[in-house]
Structures are given as C-alpha cells and as structure tokens.
C-alpha cells in the first residue's frame, strides 16, 4: 500500500488491516497498531512500517496501550524464498534458543552469511535480531496478560538467564519488565492469553469442520470454543505435554486461550502452533478478494473461511492415511480406535500416539485392509527415524501417494497453496454447483479455494 492507503486505514481504525502495517509517531518515539484507540496524530508526524521489527530497528518502542505484540502477524513477505520461510518457521519454534546461527544455517543447507542476507532483504534485520524481537514481543504479552513471575517469563520467552532478559528488554524496548506488570498475583498452573486475528473470521464453519473430525477425548468443542491436549518435542528428547482451550470472542476479533504446559520453556512455540491451527494470521481480506474474482464463484464465497490446521505432521499423516478412500465418519472411527489403544496418558490427559508407540504392534485393532495397516507401520517407523523429514520424502513409502502428501501439507503445515482437485468431495461439490474452475488463478491461496469448495457440500 502507498501512504494514502495507510493513512485511510489508520484513520478508520479498520481491524482488517491490524498487523499488516504499523504506525510510528516521530514526536513520541512510539509505534502502534492501526487500530490504536489513542487520538490520531498528524500525518506529518507519522512514519509507516510493514513489520513491527522494522519499527523497532528504527528506534521506536511499542505502544503500551494498543500493544503491537498482540497484533496478528503479517506474512506478506513469506513465500518468496523457501529457505527464508523455513528459517522463519524454525526460529518461531525457538531454534535459536538452543542453536547458533551457523547451526541453523547448516540445518537449512545454506551458509550463515546467506541466511542473514535473506533476512536483511526481506525484513531489514539479521536472523538473530529477528529471533530476539520475537522473544521480546512474546515476553511483553506475557507480562501484560498473565500473572507469571518475571523469571518464568524470561525462560518461557527463550532467554537463558534473567539478567540477559532484563538487559535485552531495557536495551531494545527502553522499558523494564516490572514496569509492564498489570497483574501482581501469584502465577497459576493455567496461562491465559488473548490471540487476535483480522476479521472476518468464519468461526462456525471452522468449528463445524473440526467438530466432524474431533478425536475424543483428545479434542473438545462447544458452540464458541475449541480445545485439545498436545505434545511438543523437546531438545533433550523428553515429551512436553499440555492442553489448551480457545474461546472465540467475536466482538474483540480474537480468542481467549487458556494453556497448561508441563515445561514453560516451550510456551512460545506452542502458542505459535495454536495460532497456526486456528489460522489467525491469514490476510483474509486479500484472500477473499482474489477468490471472488474466479468465474462463477463470487456469489458462493464464504467470507473469512480459514484453514483448520492439525497439531503436527505425524497426526496429519495418520489422519490422511486412515482417511484414504473412505468417509470422514469411517476415518474418525479408525483414528479414535488408534488413540484408545495406543494413546499416551498423562494424568487426566489423553495424548495422540507418538511414532514409537506404534512400532511394536500389528495394529490388529484397526478394522481395515492389512495393506493399509502396513502403510501405517512403515510411516511410523519412518517418522521415528526422520521426524524432521519433509512430507515430500514420504512418497518413497508404499501406500502413500500425492493426495496424502497434499492433504498433510495443507493441514499439517498450513501450506496456503494446495489444490486437492482429485478429492472426491471437491469433485462432488463442483459437479453439484456446475462450476468449472481454473485453480491456478487462486494462487497463492489454492488451499483456501479447496476449503471454499468443501464448504459447498
């Protein structure tokens, strides 16, 4: 957008632009979200930035009123470079809290110099500075929204020491952590955060999609909430587990999320993953506008439709394999049976099985062809040996084809550009509506087109 459009969006406080740009005020040295309720400054005192890190890099500190750290992320700069996008994902999962820049670059198959060049070209900042900014913004959210003590927050945000956290906070944000405290009570076992999105948000459609595929007792839904248990891989191989419940608050354009987790050090990547599976960072206005241009589809568009994610790749793969060539109801029964016999227990929590849990069984409890049980076992053995492998590498496994890989990318990785044209449900919906589509015209949002077509059934 040019400055005229930025100005119009800022003065209207349109929530659809929240997170897509930031407003910095030269006279105060503060940067805000475009929805900030403070009196609008004069245009001559304004500077616009596409990302919060670019505003911070230019010497502005975040507003304490509208809290830029709480804005939905804008990923307009994603997709230009595969290595850059992978680096973003790994850093957001906390890779640089346990690895050096050179180790991360080696994992990506590039040099550390090229990695920093990618970040400079796309964000105007180094990879390390980006990671540190993400940690600080997450810590700021915890300080303002939770009653966790400052030491807990430092480790939850990925800092190795309280002293390092305090120094970094004061240097980068020109504030002390204690100055942001709103809740002085003692920390509890449950952490409550508010996660924003840009409207519109088709909550009822996303809820219904998840409801029809919910695994009991792992997942639970109500009219306005979605929750589940989860696991997360740790650095030392221990299993991190917990649960969350996300309550949709439509008039505030977000979710109140209650989280309990066995190791607070992994809170930041877990929150990131919750944002992903609820698809809170979609530039939905741009997506809907592009899909509405498809011939014969504009009147059928469901505004604000999101991609419901699956918690991780292994679960997405299991669901896809069990769902091959059978109904949603039939696949759900098989998944429920698998969880009943092989799911892990942590107190009152039931957790989805890990790859190692399936290796020493013949899966005879699953009433399906032996060939598909064999596919599941091959898949579990592969994931136990190569948990970081790309889904494209799964094609070497007998019984896993392109449909399975595409479905997993769409829901397990939240890839926005997957068209499931060979899916029976997609074919049925298009036939019923008499629509002929050119899905390439929806790029880079073909996954959203797939869900729009499913929504017609």
Among the listed residues 392, 396, 401, the one whose alpha carbon sits nearest the alpha carbon of residue 381: 396
What pLDDT, in 10s, does the model give residues 261-289? 999 989 999 999 999 999 999 989 889 99
pLDDT for the residue 74: 66
Beta carbons of 177 and 153 less than 8 angstroms apart: yes
What pLDDT, in 10s, does the model give residues 358-409? 998 889 999 999 999 999 999 999 999 998 889 999 999 999 999 999 999 9
Identify the helix (H) or strand (E) that includes residue 192.
strand 191-196
Residues in the chain, how many?
Answer: 457
Q: Cβ contacts of residue 240 below 8 Å, gap of 6+?
A: 231, 232, 233, 234, 261, 262, 263, 266
- Out of 79-93, 226-240, 324-338, least confident range: 79-93
Percent of the chain having pLDDT more than 90?
A: 61
Q: Cβ contacts of residue 227 below 8 Å, gap of 6+?
A: 219, 220, 221, 243, 244, 245, 246
Average pLDDT over residues 70-91: 72
pLDDT for the residue 336: 94
What pTM, to 2 d.p., does this model score? 0.86
φ, ψ of residue 344 in degrees (nearest 5): -90, 150
Mean of the per-residue pLDDT values of the chain:
89
Burial state string for 51-81 with b = 16 or more CB within 10 A and e = fewer than 16: bbbbbbbeebbbbeebbbbbbbbbeeebeee
What pLDDT, in 10s, does the model give residues 197-238? 999 999 999 999 999 999 989 999 999 999 999 999 887 777
Rounded Cα distance between 235 and 255, Å, is: 29
Rounded Cα distance between 69 and 39, Å, is: 20
């Amino acid at each position: 957008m040019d400055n005229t459009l930025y100005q119009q969006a800022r003065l209207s406080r349109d929530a659809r632009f929240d997170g897509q740009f930031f407003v910095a005020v030269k006279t105060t040295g503060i940067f805000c979200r475009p929805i900030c309720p403070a009196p609008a400054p004069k245009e001559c005192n304004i500077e616009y930035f596409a990302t919060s890190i670019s505003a911070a890099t230019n010497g502005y500190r975040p507003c304490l009123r509208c809290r830029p750290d709480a804005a939905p992320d804008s990923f307009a700069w994603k997709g230009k470079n595969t290595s850059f996008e992978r680096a973003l994902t790994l850093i957001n999962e906390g890779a640089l809290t346990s690895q050096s820049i050179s180790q991360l670059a080696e994992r990506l198959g590039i040099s550390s110099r090229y990695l920093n060049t990618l970040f400079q070209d796309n964000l105007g900042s180094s990879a390390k500075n980006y990671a540190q900014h993400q940690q600080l913004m997450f810590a700021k959210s915890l300080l303002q929204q939770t009653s966790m003590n400052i030491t807990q927050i430092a480790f939850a945000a990925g800092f190795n020491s309280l002293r390092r956290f305090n120094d970094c906070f004061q240097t980068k944000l020109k504030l002390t952590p204690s100055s942001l405290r709103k809740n002085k009570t003692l920390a509890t076992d449950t952490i409550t955060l508010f996660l924003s999105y840009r409207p519109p948000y088709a909550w009822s459609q996303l809820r219904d999609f998840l409801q029809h595929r919910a695994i009991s007792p792992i997942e639970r839904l109500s009219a306005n909430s979605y929750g589940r248990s989860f696991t997360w891989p740790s650095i030392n191989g221990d299993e991190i587990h917990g649960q969350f419940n996300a309550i949709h608050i439509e008039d505030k354009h977000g979710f109140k999320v209650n989280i309990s987790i066995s190791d607070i050090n992994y809170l930041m990547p877990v929150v990131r993953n919750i944002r992903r599976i609820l698809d809170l960072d979609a530039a939905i206005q741009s997506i809907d506008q592009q899909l509405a241009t498809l011939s014969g589809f504009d009147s059928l568009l469901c505004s604000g439709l999101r991609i419901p994610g699956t918690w991780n790749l292994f679960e997405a793969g299991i669901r896809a394999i069990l769902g091959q060539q059978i109904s949603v109801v039939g696949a759900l029964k098989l998944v429920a049976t698998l969880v009943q016999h092989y799911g892990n227990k942590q107190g009152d929590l039931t957790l989805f099985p890990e790859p190692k849990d399936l290796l020493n069984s013949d899966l005879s409890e699953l009433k399906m062809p032996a060939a598909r049980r064999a596919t599941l076992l091959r898949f579990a053995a592969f994931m136990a040996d190569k948990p970081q492998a790309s889904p494209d590498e799964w094609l070497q496994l007998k019984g896993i084809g392109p449909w399975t890989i595409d479905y997993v990318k769409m829901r397990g990785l939240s890839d926005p550009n997957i068209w499931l044209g060979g899916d029976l449900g997609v074919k049925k919906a298009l036939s019923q509506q008499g629509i002929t589509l050119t899905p390439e015209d929806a790029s880079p949002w073909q996954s959203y087109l797939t869900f729009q077509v499913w929504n017609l059934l």
